[in-house]
C-alpha cells in the first residue's frame, strides 16, 4: 500500500459558517496505480491532491503514506517525506523564469544536496530521455507550452519519486500536446511510477487505471 486516507475532513470557517473543502474522504492507492480524480471546478480535486502531496493540511482524519502516519508527523519530517517520494506537475508548468531548462530540472537535486557529478549525470539522462538536450540552455519563455510541460515533468521525475501528482497537467495545452503528455504518463506508469492526476477530461482519465469522482468535496461514485 502506497497511501491510505481515512475519514479526511478539511474545512474553512467563513463567518459563523463552516465550508467543507473535503468531506469524509476515504481512499487507498497502491503502488503502480494510475488514478484520475475528476469533478467540476471547485469540487476539491486540487485540494485533495495538495493534501496527498502534503502541501496542505487537513482538519480531521488519518493519512498513512508508506506506513508513516502523516497526520502525526512534524512539519520537517513531513517535508522530508514528500521531497523524497513525491513529484509535482502543474497545469501552469510553474517553471522558474530566470532559470534555463537545465537549471530548472537540476533545482530539486540542489535542494537534496546531490553531488555535482551525480547531478550532471542525472540531468543529462533526463534531457536525453525527453529529447530536449538541444533546448537545455533555453529559458522557459523560449519554449512552447508542451515543451514547458515536458520540462515540468522531467523536473518532477529527477528525484526519482514513487508518486507523481499532476494537477490538470494538460489544461493549458492543445489536444496534440495533451496526447503526447498523457502517453508519457502512461509510459512512466508502466515503468512503475504511481500517478495521481486531477483532470476535467474523460479522455485523459481514460489513460488511468481507475477514476474517482468528487463533488463538493465528497467522493461521488467510484468506478
Partner 1 sequence: MNDSITFKKRTIMIRNYFKIALRNLLHNKGYTAIKILGLAVGIMCCILIMLFVSSEWSFDKFHSNADRIYRVWQDEKYEDQNFVNTITPIIMGPTLEANIPEVEGMCRILRVNPTVTYTQKDFTDQALMVDTTFFKLFDFKLLEGNRANPFPQINTVILSKTTAKKYFGNASALGKNLEMQLGNEKEQFIVTGIIEDAPEPSSIQYNMLISYANVGKLFSEGLQKSWFNVFGETYVMLREGILPEQLYPKFPDMMKQALGENYEPGGFEVYLQPITEIHLDNNLPQGLQPISNPKYSYILATIGILILLVACANFVILAIGHSSSRAREVGVRKVMGAERHQLIYQFMGEAFIVTCASMILGIGFSLALLKPFNSIINRELAFPLNISFVIFCLLLVLIIAFISGFYPAIFLSKFNPVVVLKGKLSSKKGSGFLRQGLVIGQFAASIAMIICTIVIGQQIDYFKNKDLGYNKEQIIVVSTNLNRIEGAVLAERYRTELLKHPEVSEATVSLYSFAESPWITLGFTNEMKAYRSFQYNSVDANFIEAMDIEVKEGRAFNEQITSDVTNAAVVNEAFVELFGLKDPIGKKLPGPFQQEIIGVVKDFNFQSLHTPVSPLLMTMKPDSVFRKTENIGMAFAPQPRISVRMEAGGLSNNIKVLEEAWKQVAPNQDFVNTFLDASIEAQYKAEARTSTIVKIASGLSIFIATMGLFGLVTLILSRRKKEIGIRKVLGAKVISIIKLISMDFALLILIASIIAFPLAWWFMNDWLQEFAYKVDIKWWVFVLASVAAIVIALITISVQTVKTALSNPVNSLRTE
Identified binder of partner 1 from the candidate list 14, 15, 16, 98, rule CB under 8 A = 98
C-alpha 36/C-alpha 34 separation (Å) is 7
Nearer to partner 1, 161 or 208 (CB): 161
Identified binder of partner 1 from the candidate list 23, 62, 68, 159, rule CB under 8 A = 159
CB-CB neighbours of 99 under 10 Å: 14
* Position 95 contacts partner 1 (CB under 8 A): yes
Identified binder of partner 1 from the candidate list 15, 16, 67, 111, rule CB under 8 A = 111
Residues 6+ apart with CB under 8 A from 156: 87, 88, 89, 164
State phi, psi for 139 to the nearest 5 degrees.
-95, 155
Nearer to partner 1, 135 or 155 (CB): 155
Residues 6+ apart with CB under 8 A from 197: 34, 35, 36, 37, 165, 166, 167, 168, 169, 185, 204, 208
Identified binder of partner 1 from the candidate list 1, 19, 79, 203, rule CB under 8 A = 79
Nearer to partner 1, 32 or 145 (CB): 145
Identified binder of partner 1 from the candidate list 66, 73, 81, 99, rule CB under 8 A = 99
Least distance in Å: CB of 199 to partner 1? 17
Nearer to partner 1, 46 or 211 (CB): 46
Q: Where would I find the H helices in the chain?
A: 45-52, 75-85, 101-111, 116-129, 145-157, 175-190, 202-205
Residues that bind partner 1 (CB under 8 A): 46, 50, 53, 55-56, 79, 83, 88, 90, 92, 94-99, 103, 107-108, 110-113, 115-116, 155, 159
Amino acid at each position: 500500500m502506497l497511501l491510505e486516507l481515512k475519514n479526511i475532513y478539511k474545512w474553512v470557517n467563513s463567518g459563523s459558517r463552516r465550508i467543507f473543502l473535503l468531506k469524509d474522504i476515504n481512499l487507498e492507492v497502491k503502488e503502480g496505480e494510475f488514478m484520475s480524480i475528476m469533478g467540476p471546478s471547485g469540487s476539491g480535486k486540487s485540494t485533495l491532491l495538495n493534501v496527498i502531496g502534503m502541501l496542505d493540511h487537513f482538519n480531521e482524519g488519518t493519512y498513512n503514506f508508506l506506513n508513516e502516519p502523516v497526520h502525526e508527523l512534524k512539519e520537517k519530517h513531513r517535508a522530508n517525506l514528500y521531497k523524497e517520494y513525491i513529484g509535482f506537475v502543474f497545469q501552469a508548468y510553474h517553471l522558474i523564469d530566470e532559470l534555463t531548462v537545465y537549471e530548472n530540472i537540476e533545482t530539486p537535486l540542489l535542494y537534496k544536496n546531490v553531488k555535482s557529478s551525480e547531478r550532471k549525470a542525472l540531468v543529462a539522462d533526463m534531457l536525453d530521455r525527453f529529447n530536449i538536450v538541444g533546448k537545455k540552455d533555453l529559458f522557459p519563455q523560449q519554449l512552447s507550452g508542451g515543451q514547458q510541460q515536458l520540462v515540468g515533468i522531467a523536473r518532477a521525475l529527477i528525484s526519482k519519486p514513487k508518486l507523481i501528482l499532476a494537477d490538470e497537467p494538460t489544461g493549458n495545452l492543445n489536444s496534440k500536446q495533451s496526447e503526447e503528455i498523457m502517453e508519457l504518463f502512461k509510459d512512466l506508469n508502466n515503468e512503475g511510477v504511481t500517478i495521481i492526476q486531477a483532470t476535467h477530461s474523460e479522455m485523459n482519465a481514460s489513460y488511468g487505471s481507475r477514476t474517482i469522482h468528487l463533488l463538493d468535496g465528497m467522493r461521488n461514485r467510484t468506478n
